Amino acid sequence: MIEKWKGFLFTVLWIASIAGCGNRNDTYLDTFVEEKPSEAVAGNGEEEPTEQVSGGLCYVYVCGAVAKPGVYVLSENSRVYEAIEMAGGLTEEAQCAAVNQAEAVTDGQLLYVPTVGETEYAAAEASDGRININTATAEELMTIPGVGKAKADSIIAYREEHGAFSSAEDLMNVAGIKEGVFNRMRDYIKVN
């Protein structure tokens, strides 16, 4: 079960990086703080901060399927739904069930709201619990029975040198993985 959640989280973060989470030419972070921290929003560089931000506040980067992605300043006891409201609310494509809106925010948090299509893709990828040997990290590969650090590194090295595996059986071309080891791994791996 933990592996499924790790796979799901990895997929969501991967999708977030591909989707260009907040890729709106926000090269510089300009945060504006008004009288109350709950009204603070990320600016576009046209104004100056009205007061110094001090302890008891959290900077939260809200991106993905929200109206105004950016960095927002909230009080330390704020909730995710408040950060989403500050970002202009959810878009029509947002998969609101993928984000726990009752969760407390933390300083430096990345709050990514996926779209319905992203969560459906991620769920399909993570649903069977098997590890994709063409995309897995060394840590993910080491969750497969019979694969330790050395074998995981060998799999990645082989993949980098020869390209993606076209079938699961191609693993037997990796040094140290023969039929017996492969048979222990077979039910835990996939190739996409």
What interhelical angle do 2-18 and 116-126 show, nearest 10? 140
The pLDDT of residue 191 is: 87
What is the rounded average pLDDT of the residues 125-148? 82
Tens digit of each residue's pLDDT (9 = 90 or more) over 69-128: 999 999 999 999 999 999 999 999 998 888 889 999 999 898 888 888 775 555 555 557
Distance CA 94, CA 10 (A): 19
Using DSSP's 3-state secondary structure scheme, residue 187 falls into helix
Distance CA 121, CA 179 (A): 32
The pLDDT of residue 96 is: 82
Q: Give the global pTM.
A: 0.41
The pLDDT of residue 73 is: 96
With a CB cutoff of 8 Å and minimum separation 6, the contacts of 113 are: 62, 63, 64, 65, 66, 84, 90, 94, 95, 96, 98, 99
Using DSSP's 3-state secondary structure scheme, residue 75 falls into strand
- Give the dihedral of Cα atoms 107, 26, 101, 137; nearest 10 deg: -80
What is the rounded average pLDDT of the residues 158-178? 91
What is the rounded average pLDDT of the residues 3-7? 56
CB 189 within 8 A of CB 168: yes
Distance CA 26, CA 5 (A): 31
Which CATH number among 3.40.50, 2.60.40, 3.30.70, 3.10.560 corresponds to the domain 2-124? 3.10.560
Q: At the fourth CATH level, which superfamily is domain 130-190? A: AF1531-like domain (1.10.150.280)
Range of lowest pLDDT (2-16, 109-123, 175-189): 2-16
Do 2-124 and 130-190 fold alike per CATH? no
Tokens describing residue 135: 């995309």
The pLDDT of residue 67 is: 96
Tokens describing residue 20: 């260009």
CB 24 within 8 A of CB 41: no
CB atoms inside a 10 Å sphere around CB 6: 16
Per-residue confidence band for 130, with pLDDT thresholds at 50, 70 and 90: confident
Tens digit of each residue's pLDDT (9 = 90 or more) over 17-73: 444 454 443 333 333 333 334 444 444 443 433 334 456 899 999 999 999 999 999
155 backbone dihedrals φ, ψ, rounded to 5°: -60, -45
Helix residue spans in 104-148 (DSSP H): 116-126, 138-141
Q: What residue spans define the domains of the chain?
A: 2-124, 130-190
